[in-house]
Amino acid sequence: MYKSEQLAHQLRQLIESGTLKAHEKLPSLREQVQLSGFSLITVMNAYQELESRGLIYAKEKSGYYIANTYAEHDYNAPLIVSLNSNIEINSLIFKYLKSIQGEHIVPFGSAFPSRDLVYSKKLTQIMGQIARNKKSYDAIDNLPPGNFALRKLIAQRYCMQGIPTDPDDIVITSGAMDALNLALQAIAKPGDYIILQQNIFYGAWQAAERLGLKVVTIPEHPKHGFDLDAFEHILKTYPVKLCWFMLNSHNPVGFTVSEDIKFQISKLLHQYQVYMIEDDVYEEMYFGHKKPLPMTYYDQNNLVLHCSSFSKTLGATFRVGWVHAGKYSQHIQHLQLMSTISVNSLLQTALVEFLSNFHYEKHLRNLRKNLQHNKLLFYRYLELNLPPECKIEYHPSGYFLWLKLPKNIDSMPIYESLIQQKIGIAPGQLFNITAQKQHYLRINCSFEWSDSVQHSLDQVIVTLQKFIRDE
Ligand SMILES: Cc1ncc(COP(=O)(O)O)c(C=O)c1O
C-alpha cells in the first residue's frame, strides 16, 4: 500500500466509525503533515483520494471538511405490504414519466445518463454499415435465446469476473426491464411472497403488482446499504419465495453492498432456498479500480438470476439486455416466445461488432471518468449551497444523488413546483410506496457542468429553501 493510501485508509476508518463527524473541519494539509509525519505530497494525495470518493469536500480558502456521506436514515422494521390489483403505482409513474418527458424539461429527474456521455459515434457507424448489408435483416440467428456471438461475448465478461458462464446460460432480452420481468415470471406465481428493498426502482413495484405478489419490504441499512439481520428476520418470519434486490450502485440511494455482505446473503439464500432476481443495470458505473461482483459469483445453486442491459451505458436507443438464467434459460425462452418474441436483430449484430473490437471497454472507461467528474461537481455545489437541514447521500458510483429533506417536508409538492419551472426531479414516492409522504428526492447528476446546469440547480435550491421556510 502506498503511504497516501495508508493515510486515506486511516482517515476513512475515522469517518466511517463516526469519530470524525459530518462537516467537521479536517486538519489543514500542513497540520496533517505535522500530525502524521507524512510528506506534504502524500497528505495531498490522500486528501484527493478521499475527496474523489466523496468522503470529504473542499471549501474555497477554508480547507477540507468531512462530507455527510452516511446520512442518517429513518430506520423502520421490515414491513409487509400486500399489493392488490389497483393501479395506483402505475398511474403515478405514468403521470411522472409523461411530465419529465415534456419539451425543455431539465432532465434531473431522468433515470438515463446524459446523452452526451452515452452516445458513441463508432457504434452509430457500425449500425450504418450493418444496416446496408441485406444479411443483417435475417432475424433467424437472433431469435431466443438471442445472437450466439453476443451471448458468447457477454459470457466472457462474466468469466473475466471469475464466474464460469456458458453462452447458453444467457438469454438476450429487450432491455433489463424485459429481463427482470421474464425472470420474475419464471420463478413466481400469484400469491407468492417477495422481498423488495424499501426504496427500489419503481419497475419492481409494478412487476410485483402485475403478478399479484405479496411484498415484504426490507429497509436499507444506514451504513452498509443492506441489513443482514432484517433479511434473516424476514426469512424466518415469512414463507418467502424470492427477492428482487439491487446491490451495486443502487437506484435511487446509490450504495454498493460490500462483498462480504453479498457472500452472507448468498449463504442465507441457500439456507432458506430463496431465489434472487438481481437488478444490476448500473454494474459498469463504479468509480474504483475493481468492478463490484454480481451475486452470481457467490451462487452455487442457481438461485440467482442476474439481469442487466446496455441501456444505461449506450443509451435507451440500445435497449438490449440479458438475463444470466442458468438452468432457467429454456423456461425464460418459452416465456419470451409468448411475449416479446425476439430482440431487434440489427442492434444485436451491431453490439457484437462493438464489443468484440474493444470499443465498448474504451467507451466505458470514458463514461466512468466523466460520470465521476460530473457527479462530484454536483455534489460539491449542493453540499455548499443546500439548506443545512438537507442531507446528501453520496456514493462513489453511478450518477444519482439522494437527498434527504427535513422529515416534515413532502417531496411531491416540491417536484410539482419544480416541474412548473421546467425542472424535473424524481420524488421519493416513486421508489417507496409504503408511505404517503416521502422526504427524499433523487437528482441525476450525469450532466456536464455549465451555467445553465448551475442555474437550474439554483432553482432547485431556492425551491427547497422556500418549502423549508414555509413549513
Ligand atoms: C434500476 C433499474 N432497473 C432496470 C431498469 C430498466 O432498464 P432497461 O432500460 O434496460 O429496460 C432501469 C431503468 O431506468 C433502472 O433504473
Helices (H), 53-174: 88-100, 115-118, 121-131, 148-160
35 lies in the same domain as 166: no
195 within a domain of the structure (yes/no): yes
149 lies in the same domain as 285: yes
Quote the pLDDT of residue 76. 59
Buried b (16+ CB within 10 A) or exposed e, 62-89: eebbbbbbbbebeeeebeeeebeeeeeb
Ligand 1 atom index nearest CA of 279 = 3
Strand 275-279 with 240-245, pairing? parallel
* Ligand 1 pocket check for 251: Cβ under 6 Å: yes
Out of 300, 328, 360, a domain closes at 360
What is the rounded CA–CA span in Å between residue 310 and residue 301? 27
176 lies in the same domain as 324: yes
Distances (CA, A) of 191 to 95, 183, 199, 260: 28, 17, 22, 32
Out of 311, 340, 360, a domain closes at 360
Mean pLDDT, 10 residues at a time, over the chain (471 residues)?
A: 83 81 88 90 88 76 77 58 63 82 90 95 93 74 89 97 97 97 96 94 90 90 92 91 98 96 98 98 95 96 97 93 96 92 88 93 97 96 95 95 95 96 95 84 97 98 96 80
Best mutation site among 177, 246, 339 for ligand 1, i.e. most ligand atoms within 8 A of its Cβ? 177
Q: Count Cα neighbours of 24 within 13 Å in the Cβ-side half-sphere.
A: 11
189 lies in the same domain as 315: yes
Q: Which residues contact 253 (CB under 8 A, 6 or more apart)?
A: 199, 220, 225, 393, 395, 402
State CA 179 to chain mean position distance. 16
368 within a domain of the structure (yes/no): no
Ligand 1 atom index nearest CA of 204 = 3
176 lies in the same domain as 319: yes
The phi and psi torsions of 443 (rounded to 5 degrees) equal -120, 130
Which residue, judged by its Cα, is nearest atom 14 of ligand 1? 111
97 within a domain of the structure (yes/no): no
Separation of CA 30 and ligand 1 centre (Å): 46
Nine-digit cell at 146?
A: 438471442
Neighbours of 395 (CB within 10 A): 21
Which among 22, 17, 42, 16 is positioned nearest to 30, based on CA atoms? 42
* Ligand 1 pocket check for 250: Cβ under 6 Å: no
CB 357 within 8 A of CB 149: no
Total domain count, the chain: 2
136 within a domain of the structure (yes/no): yes
Quote the pLDDT of residue 139. 65
275 lies in the same domain as 164: yes
Quote the pLDDT of residue 19. 81
CB 309 within 8 A of CB 157: no
Which among 19, 187, 148 is positioned nearest to 10, based on CA atoms? 19
Best mutation site among 281, 307, 317 for ligand 1, i.e. most ligand atoms within 8 A of its Cβ? 281
254 within a domain of the structure (yes/no): yes
Separation of CA 281 and ligand 1 centre (Å): 6
- Residue type for position 293: L
Ligand 1 atom index nearest CA of 180 = 4
244 lies in the same domain as 330: yes
Quote the pLDDT of residue 77. 63
250 lies in the same domain as 149: yes
Quote the pLDDT of residue 87. 52
The phi and psi torsions of 105 (rounded to 5 degrees) equal -85, 130
* Ligand 1 pocket check for 177: Cβ under 6 Å: yes
414 within a domain of the structure (yes/no): no
- Using DSSP, state whether 172 is helix, strand or coil: strand
Q: Which domain holds residue 8?
A: 3-66
Question: Residue 9 belongs to a domain with what CATH number?
Answer: 1.10.10.10
Question: Residue 190 belongs to a domain with what CATH number?
Answer: 3.40.640.10
The phi and psi torsions of 58 (rounded to 5 degrees) equal -100, 140
Neighbours of 293 (CB within 10 A): 18
189 within a domain of the structure (yes/no): yes
135 lies in the same domain as 42: no
105 within a domain of the structure (yes/no): no
- Kindly tell me the burial class for residue 270, based on how many C-beta atoms sit within 10 Å of its own C-beta (0-12, 13-18, 19 or more): middle
What is the rounded CA–CA span in Å between residue 376 and residue 9? 20
17 lies in the same domain as 147: no
* Ligand 1 pocket check for 109: Cβ under 6 Å: no
* Ligand 1 pocket check for 311: Cβ under 6 Å: yes
* Ligand 1 pocket check for 286: Cβ under 6 Å: no
* Ligand 1 pocket check for 281: Cβ under 6 Å: yes
208 lies in the same domain as 294: yes
CB 115 within 8 A of CB 444: no
Quote the pLDDT of residue 357. 87
- Using DSSP, state whether 82 is helix, strand or coil: strand
- Asked, as a colleague might, if the bond just before 145 is cis with ω within 30 of 0, I would say yes
Out of 317, 334, 360, a domain closes at 360
153 lies in the same domain as 219: yes
Query: What is the rounded (10 degree) CA torsion for 157, 163, 166, 168?
Result: -90
